[in-house]
Structure 1
Amino acid sequence: MSGKQELEITISNDGEVSINVHGAKGSSCLDLTKEIEESIGVVTEREKKSSFYESNDAEHVRITSED
């Protein structure tokens, strides 16, 4: 992996967390978000962007906490 990698994290008013990964390709985006996903809650939706299917970019993950 080369270049800048960024996580864009958005928390909605109802507590839903969205994570967008930029600058990573393939499954490396999963590695970048794994610890955050595990510490916040349950992944309820995962959208893999086209760059996921390249050799190593971005993924959109939505997480909700279990209350």
Structure 2
Amino acid sequence: MTEYQKIEYQIGKNGKIVEKVLNATGSNCIETTKEVEKSLGEIESQELLPEYYQEDESISISENQSLQQW
């Protein structure tokens, strides 16, 4: 399922651009902004939000347990 993502840009008086991706998990944020970043130029630094380390919703993990009584 495609998720809605919002990208915020802040442009400082010195010309520094800060990009923030909201509503994205895992590497989706990097993929979403890849083409825009190519147009903007060299990336000085990158800080990943906690959502980057969350699993994508499309990945499901299941665990099975069984209990035997003697």
Q: TM-score range by the shorter chain?
A: 0.7 to 0.9
Question: Which amino acid in structure 2 is aligned with residue 29 of structure 1?
Answer: C
Ranges in structure 2 where 5+ consecutive residues have no aligned partner = 57-70
Hey, which of these two has a bigger chunk of strand by percent? 1
Query: Please, what TM-score do these two structures have when normalized by structure 2?
Result: 0.72
Question: Which amino acid in structure 2 is aligned with residue 45 of structure 1?
Answer: S
Aligned to 2:24: 24
SS in 2 for 1:13: coil
Aligned to 2:64: none
Question: What count of residue pairs does the alignment treat as equivalent?
Answer: 56
Identity of aligned residues (%): 32
Query: Please, what TM-score do these two structures have when normalized by structure 1?
Result: 0.75
Distance in 2, Cα, partners of 1:21 & 1:39: 17
Aligned to 1:48: 48
Question: Which amino acid in structure 2 is aligned with residue 39 of structure 1?
Answer: S
- Cα deviation code 1:2-61 (max 9, x no counterpart): 4421000111111111110000100000011111111011111111111101113xxxxx
> Could you list the runs of 4 or more consecutive aligned residues of structure 1 that deviate by over 6 angstroms after TM superposition?
none
Distance in 1, Cα, partners of 2:4 & 2:26: 15
What is the aligned-residue RMSD (CA, Å)?
Answer: 1.3
Over alpha carbons, which structure has the higher Rg? 2
